[in-house]
């Protein structure tokens, strides 16, 4: 029995190796196809136009829920191509490049919204091989990548078997409502969902759960010279923080805990009547979050009692981990892995992301997240991207599009 089992498991391992091998071969043959080569050449020839268009879109600020002006501009660019174009009830701009024979419906998402305040005047500057502008990276680089691939696919007369659906989503930064609406409306009609957000060298296949809390210790306060106990509410806060950092936070499943903000009295000579701190709790496993949440609540209770104060917790935000069973072994992940390797990105598989991919995974849609270029200072006015690698990133996205939707013969 043992022998049979080990032969069987050997067979499973070997057949996985073979299937991974054949997917790598398939991706390689797509990459070597003259039409795909022509599309890559087009991207090289299109470089200056890509940079100009990327900047033009970035300079239309699009705060969450105020994406209309940017959407109209992108729609104008899409209208130059043979695409079915529509908006849905969440304001997502959707462009479908029809496939020829019912291959996998492959959705690429890039979000239109930015975190910057309405009315902010954005003017990009280029220096030392980088382009600087708020929102240039998150997520305009990926909007531009999709537009550049559409142009290159058309120029090279590439037809895919399955539909390629380009979804320019709204409101990613403020709660993913655009992607949530799209994935809810299209559940069962989508085979692969690729959220382009951040990213360059690798991809992720799970969404990390993120809970933010603000914990308060509430006491009587008073002057420095007032009789104690009760103490300043900063005392249980300090004790609690020290104990929370003693908690074991697992690395597998990938999890994090951070206490980033705290506050107490407004003045030096008063005991704090409200001492508070934040907790940022993350894990790819919701049970880990629930377990740590319980342990933290217990510490807070004990320290509040010990200092004779009360405790109050506000949940600032909570979004659950999105892990789809079997996603790691899915065709999407295998093809994405092969595409990244074929483009020279190795090893390509990252941990977990936090973006529109989670909306798809929570609807049971096979999904990954990746992106088209390296950028820094996302969500800051100093945001910037390297220019040169974007062209390679765009080629990677194009290869991913064709390898997933299938090259029509």
Footprint of Zn ion (CB under 5 A)? 138-139, 197
Rounded to a whole number of angstroms, the minimum distance from the CB of residue 261 to Zn ion is 22
Buried residues in 303-327 as b, exposed as e (16+ CB within 10 A): bbeebebebeeeeeeebebbbbeeb
Rounded to a whole number of angstroms, the minimum distance from the CB of residue 114 to Zn ion is 9
85 vs 115 by CB, closer to Zn ion? 115
Q: For residues 377 and 383, what is the distance between their CA atoms, to the nearest angstrom?
A: 4
139 vs 401 by CB, closer to Zn ion? 139
Rounded to a whole number of angstroms, the minimum distance from the CB of residue 371 to Zn ion is 9
Rounded to a whole number of angstroms, the minimum distance from the CB of residue 279 to Zn ion is 23
Q: For residues 64 and 67, what is the distance between their CA atoms, to the nearest angstrom?
A: 7
Do the Cβ atoms of 85 and 21 come closer than 8 Å?
Answer: no
Rounded to a whole number of angstroms, the minimum distance from the CB of residue 174 to Zn ion is 11
Q: Which two tokens stand for residue 4?
A: 């049979």
Write down the number of H helices and E strands in the chain: 11, 17
Query: Which residues are CB-neighbours of 214 under 8 A, at least 6 positions away?
Result: 276, 277, 278, 313, 314, 316
113 vs 303 by CB, closer to Zn ion? 113
Q: What single-letter DSSP state applies at residue 407?
A: B
193 vs 213 by CB, closer to Zn ion? 193
138 vs 274 by CB, closer to Zn ion? 138
Q: For residues 162 and 196, what is the distance between their CA atoms, to the nearest angstrom?
A: 19
Q: What single-letter DSSP state applies at residue 353?
A: B
172 vs 337 by CB, closer to Zn ion? 172
Q: Which residue from 126, 122, 110 is spatially nearest to 61, judged by alpha carbons? A: 122
303 vs 383 by CB, closer to Zn ion? 383
Q: For residues 375 and 387, what is the distance between their CA atoms, to the nearest angstrom?
A: 9
Q: How many CB atoms lie within 10 A of CB 31?
A: 19
């Amino acid at each position: 029995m043992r022998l049979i089992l080990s032969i069987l498991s050997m067979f499973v391992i070997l057949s996985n190796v073979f299937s991974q091998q054949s997917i790598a071969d398939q991706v390689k043959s797509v990459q070597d196809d003259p039409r795909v080569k022509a599309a890559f050449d087009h991207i090289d020839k299109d470089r200056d136009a890509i940079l100009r268009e990327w900047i033009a879109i970035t300079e239309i600020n699009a705060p969450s829920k105020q994406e209309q002006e940017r959407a109209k501009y992108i729609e104008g660019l899409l209208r130059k191509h043979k695409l079915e174009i529509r908006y849905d009830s969440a304001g997502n701009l959707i462009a479908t490049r029809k496939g020829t024979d019912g291959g996998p419906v492959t959705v690429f998402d890039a979000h239109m919204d930015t975190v910057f305040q309405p009315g902010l005047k954005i003017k990009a500057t280029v220096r030392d091989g980088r382009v600087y502008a708020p929102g240039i990276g998150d997520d305009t680089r990926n909007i531009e990548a999709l537009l550049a691939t559409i142009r290159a696919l058309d120029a090279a007369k590439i037809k895919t078997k399955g539909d390629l659906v380009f979804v320019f989503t709204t409101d990613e930064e403020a709660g993913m409502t655009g992607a949530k609406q799209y994935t809810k409306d299209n559940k069962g009609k989508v085979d692969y969902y690729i959220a382009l957000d951040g990213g360059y060298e690798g991809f992720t296949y799970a969404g990390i759960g993120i809970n933010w809390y603000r914990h308060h210790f509430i006491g009587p306060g008073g002057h420095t010279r007032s009789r104690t106990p009760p103490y300043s509410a900063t005392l249980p806060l300090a004790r609690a923080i020290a104990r929370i950092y003693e908690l074991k936070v697992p690395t597998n499943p990938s999890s994090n805990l951070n206490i980033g903000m705290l506050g107490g009295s407004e003045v030096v000579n008063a005991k704090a009547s409200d001492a508070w701190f934040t907790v940022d709790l993350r894990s790819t496993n919701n049970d880990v979050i629930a377990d740590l949440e319980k342990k933290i609540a217990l510490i807070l209770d004990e320290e509040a009692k010990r200092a004779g104060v009360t405790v109050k917790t506000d949940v600032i935000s909570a979004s659950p981990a999105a892990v789809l069973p079997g996603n790691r072994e899915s065709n999407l992940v295998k093809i994405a892995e092969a595409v990244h390797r074929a483009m020279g990105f190795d090893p390509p598989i990252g941990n977990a992301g936090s973006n529109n991919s989670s909306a798809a995974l929570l609807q049971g849609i096979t999904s990954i997240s990746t992106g088209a270029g390296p950028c820094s200072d996302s969500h800051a006015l100093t945001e910037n991207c390297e220019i040169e690698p974007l062209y390679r990133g765009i080629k990677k996205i194009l290869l991913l599009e064709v390898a997933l939707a299938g090259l029509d013969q």
